[in-house]
Structure 1
Amino acid sequence: MSRSSANPSVPESAVALRDALRRGEVSAREAVEHFLARIADRSDLGAFVAVTAEQALAEADAADERFAALSEDERAALPPLHGLPIAHKDLVDVTGAPTTMGSAALPHPVAERDHPGVAVLRAAGAVSLGKTQVPELGLNAYSENLIAAPARNPLDPERTAGGSSGGSAAAVAAGLLPVAPGSDGGGSIRIPSLACGLIGLKPGLGAVPTDLEHGPVDDFGAPRLPVTGPIARSAEDAALLFDAMAGSPGTALAAVRAADGLRDLRIGVSAASPFETVHPIPLWPGARLAWETAAERLAAAGHRVEAAGLRYDPRYAEAFGTGWMAGLSLLELAEGAQERLIPYTRVFRERALARSRDAHLEAASALQEIAADLRRQWGAYDVVLTPGLTMPPPRVGAFLALDPDDDYRLQCEWAAYTSMVNVSGLPAIAVPILDVPNPTGSGTLSMGAQLIGRAGSEAQLLQLAAQLTRATS
């Protein structure tokens, strides 16, 4: 499809499109055709690994048939995302689409059933357009692998879109999707959202019920890190998708629409990072300005903003690094397949395999203690405000050009504030704050901030994101 195939009557906002679909002003087929056209027009971004156009159009036609069979009164009972186009990361199974896990070392079977989180969104009426680009096994903060083109940042295609939800973020930022679900094990929703100028919500563990499919701890007893959440261009759009993922239609969206009434939260402000114990964490001037501007806006919105004297456990960097790679020791590969891993994955898998089970258990125990300390320190505040990313997104290929240890270190320096939230199990949200001049090219880049909330505060975080972004309009 060409650009001329795009339909200008299809709203770009997910909420507006949802409303148009439910009123019958736009058909599901028209919406799907519109975004398929946008995807085809921007294939240069590498956002998609696979586009399942025929399947998506068939699902859209079925949605339109169901809509046509209902009376106007009955249409109020339509599923909350009726006909809304989305796409899923290529780390989860979607019926009828191959799952690559971003790896040339694994088979790429066509899924016969949906991942539970995918099934929830399908039942909510969403239509999947395909699979989006990810790093190998979802390990990295950039979405590059050996099986497809890298995910590029729409703000500057020479730069990474981040990871591991990089393809999804690139798609939403470029208008190839109205909104997208992502997953976040160490920052994988928030990193690409910050890189691409989007809102990305990392829910607390268990806020989305399907995230607890395998329990609250991993195979070694460490806190389970990955959760799923929305990537969107607005707080309203993020709330719409989060409500569907959490099974609470309308709850967060209603809160966002009442965001102006939120006042008097105690907000602790800190640029401390748990990685500072092993190496300095640079904070680019634009990153610092975005963080400081966020604090000023929150104060202007009527919140009590104060410096937070946070001190992180010096064991964090080593324990997290060990825990983050521990699962690689359980990865089963066919004979010779290890050579098809990227060097980064291969090296860290070899190290994980070389560690004793006792070493993995010790790191897991340390992470549990650290998680309790994080919750205790942050619990003195309603919300903690940290910088977002510490610097502009590196160029595509910059990480892979480094040896594995330097690659990992650069990821920890760039995303110095995200993984600790996964360890804690608490919710956090990434919010774009400022557009800043691109230091190495034309146009602007987005710099943002992160807000960490208490357990169950996802709707409140979305309200704060609405306050912060409305301050720019």
Structure 2
Amino acid sequence: MAELHDLTAIEQLAALRAREISPVELTRHYLDRISRLDDGLGAFVQVTADAALARAASLDDGDTAGAALWGLPFADKDLVTRAGVPTRFGSRLHQDFVPDATADQAAVLDEAGGISLGKTNTPEFGLTGYTETQIAPPARDPWNLVNGAGGSSGGAAVAVAAGLLPFAPASDGGGSIRIPAATVGVVGIKPSRGRVPFASGLDSPGGLPVAGPIARTVSDAALLLDVQAGGRPYPYATSAPGRRAFLEAATAAAASARIGVTTVSPWDDAEDIRLDPEASRAVDVATALLADAGHGVNRFEWRPRGYGEMFTTIWRTSAARMHLTDAQLELVEPITAWLVREGRALTGTQVLDALAAATVFERETITAFAPFEAVLTPALALPPQPVGWFHPTDAPENFSQQVRYAPYSSFVNVAGLPAIVVPVTLSASGHPVSVQLIGRPGGEARIIALAAELERGVGSLPKPDVWRA
């Protein structure tokens, strides 16, 4: 017999609106699963059960059933403040911080009728592509608890993959949505720079971090992205979508598209990037599915140079903006302290040169990808790695490991492009393996439609054993 979490977010929303289930009933269902299952998963760092149930009851009593997410549970990434709820930013420096204001990233989902169940696990300040900290258990891959779940939205991805949430808001500055989503076999969307008003990327060095959704299906992710993109006034160059533009794209037939395929990463000239055979096979599977659907699919040459030094400089610059004292640097993770110190050692000329190089890289990448409506790449280069695999004390090696694990992620942020990861096949061990589709600037709808087509072509993939618990 199907459980409530077996329903997609869209199906749950339909059941709520038809009064087949109530917000309180659905909230209790997910809180029960979290209480029983999360100890071994590390998805949550804070569960706000009383507040969630009170919120659900208020929705039951109100007249807001037409709201876009009415009665659907979610959870805030622990980089996002919510008034009265501890926000630790994955760091022991903030173990006792309780904000008195709610950030727009959370408020927008509240206004759409969502119900926050707490805070999802994230690495310190969201700086790494894995979720292992000094203050919380690591986020683990529900398919194999020996392995980590990626990061920095690791807790959000685990919660969705394990059926602890129907979907989750997340953020992505160098792959932080797509890396964990691909690691645990769910869908993640990184929007274009400027697409989501409250987390546009336009106020950060290089314009890297944006907000987006993680979900089990493309349609569920599109539902959440519609809310995120439309939840605030729109002062930026990327135009606001229609009210349900992304959900409509996910459910409509994909128009014929020209799709470029590459397994080249811009890190290839700086790191020893080795593509796992299962990741390569996933690209072949997706290529065949798209070709069979009538799209023009072609491999193409793309040989960027000098990316590694430029991105590393910008990442260090972003870390150096944190106002940490020398005493505080002794308390943070070694990778955090290294990035901050390296960033502070940069000269103004080095920073400005890197930012100028990023602008050139953006233009050259968009030009190289221009013949195609979408570009298909691997999502990750390597399969999920064991907790502790990323070196805990050798920061330069740790950074290199992150690059070798996910070399196809950060360049999309630098170029400001939209991207989606979607599982398309299973490895020999039965673990989902994903690919990435990268769109043109503002081209979320097109890649969402293509990802949905891949999803339909693949059919139903199995879920981890914890799903049935």
Query: In the alignment, what sits opposite 2:266?
Result: 274
Give the C-alpha shift of residue 166 in structure 1: 0.3
Query: In the alignment, what sits opposite 2:211?
Result: 228
The answer to whether structure 1 residue 359 and structure 2 residue 350 are counterparts is: yes
| 8 A Cα contact 2:424 2:434, kept in partner | yes
Give the C-alpha shift of residue 358 in structure 1: 2.4
Q: Any stretches of 5+ residues in structure 2 without a counterpart?
A: 231-241, 460-469
| 8 A Cα contact 1:7 1:30, kept in partner | no
Mapped to 2, the partners of 1:7 and 1:48 lie a distance apart of 25
Q: Any stretches of 5+ residues in structure 1 without a counterpart?
A: 1-5, 439-443
SS at match of 1:42: helix
Query: In the alignment, what sits opposite 2:32?
Result: 37
- The amino acid across from 2:413 in the alignment is N
Q: In the TM superposition, what are the counterparts of 1:209-288 in structure 2 within 5 Å?
A: 209-212=197-200, 216-218=202-204, 222-247=205-230, 248-259=242-253, 262-288=254-280
Mapped to 2, the partners of 1:232 and 1:294 lie a distance apart of 20
Query: In the alignment, what sits opposite 1:463?
Result: 449
Residue by residue over 1:94-119, the C-alpha shift from the partner in whole angstroms, topping out at 9 and shown as x without a partner, is: 22211111011345421222111211
The answer to whether structure 1 residue 66 and structure 2 residue 65 are counterparts is: no
The answer to whether structure 1 residue 296 and structure 2 residue 282 are counterparts is: no
Mapped to 2, the partners of 1:401 and 1:330 lie a distance apart of 23
SS at match of 2:206: coil
Residue by residue over 1:285-339, the C-alpha shift from the partner in whole angstroms, topping out at 9 and shown as x without a partner, is: 1110001111111101110000111121x22100101101212222113562211
| 8 A Cα contact 1:106 1:337, kept in partner | no
Question: CA 1:278–1:106 in structure 2 vs 1: closer, same or farther (change >3 Å)?
Answer: same
Mapped to 2, the partners of 1:457 and 1:136 lie a distance apart of 31
| 8 A Cα contact 1:256 1:462, kept in partner | yes
Among 430, 453, 459, the alignment partner of 2:439 is: 453
Give the C-alpha shift of residue 9 in structure 1: 4.7
Among 16, 24, 47, the alignment partner of 1:51 is: 47
Query: In the alignment, what sits opposite 1:171?
Result: 159
| 8 A Cα contact 2:4 2:26, kept in partner | no
Mapped to 1, the partners of 2:16 and 2:368 lie a distance apart of 45
Mapped to 2, the partners of 1:46 and 1:152 lie a distance apart of 6
Query: In the alignment, what sits opposite 1:441?
Result: none
- The amino acid across from 2:399 in the alignment is Y
The two structures have a TM-score, normalised by structure 2, of: 0.92
Query: In the alignment, what sits opposite 2:85?
Result: 97
Count of residue pairs the alignment pairs up = 447
Among 409, 415, 419, the alignment partner of 1:424 is: 415
Question: CA 1:59–1:468 in structure 2 vs 1: closer, same or farther (change >3 Å)?
Answer: same
Give the C-alpha shift of residue 130 in structure 1: 0.5
Query: In the alignment, what sits opposite 1:345?
Result: 336
SS at match of 2:207: coil
Identity %: 42
Query: In the alignment, what sits opposite 1:128?
Result: 116
Question: CA 1:382–1:324 in structure 2 vs 1: closer, same or farther (change >3 Å)?
Answer: same
Among 195, 210, 215, the alignment partner of 1:207 is: 195
Among 305, 310, 315, the alignment partner of 2:306 is: 315
Residue by residue over 1:70-116, the C-alpha shift from the partner in whole angstroms, topping out at 9 and shown as x without a partner, is: 8xxxx5xx211011100011011122211111011345421222111
Mapped to 2, the partners of 1:374 and 1:10 lie a distance apart of 40
Residue by residue over 1:424-466, the C-alpha shift from the partner in whole angstroms, topping out at 9 and shown as x without a partner, is: 111000010111123xxxxx21211111001222122111111
Root-mean-square deviation over aligned CA pairs: 1.7
| 8 A Cα contact 1:240 1:249, kept in partner | no
SS at match of 1:157: coil
| 8 A Cα contact 1:240 1:253, kept in partner | yes
Residue by residue over 1:40-78, the C-alpha shift from the partner in whole angstroms, topping out at 9 and shown as x without a partner, is: 1112101000001111111101111104xx8xxxx5xx2
Question: CA 1:295–1:402 in structure 2 vs 1: closer, same or farther (change >3 Å)?
Answer: farther
Mapped to 2, the partners of 1:388 and 1:59 lie a distance apart of 37
Residue by residue over 1:386-408, the C-alpha shift from the partner in whole angstroms, topping out at 9 and shown as x without a partner, is: 11111111101110346111111
- The amino acid across from 1:319 in the alignment is M
Query: In the alignment, what sits opposite 2:10?
Result: 15
| 8 A Cα contact 2:4 2:12, kept in partner | no
- The amino acid across from 1:51 in the alignment is V
The answer to whether structure 1 residue 411 and structure 2 residue 397 are counterparts is: no
- The amino acid across from 2:114 in the alignment is A
Give the C-alpha shift of residue 11 in structure 1: 5.2
Among 359, 365, 368, the alignment partner of 2:359 is: 368
The answer to whether structure 1 residue 26 and structure 2 residue 26 are counterparts is: no
The two structures have a TM-score, normalised by structure 1, of: 0.91
Give the C-alpha shift of residue 183 in structure 1: 0.4
- The amino acid across from 2:425 in the alignment is L
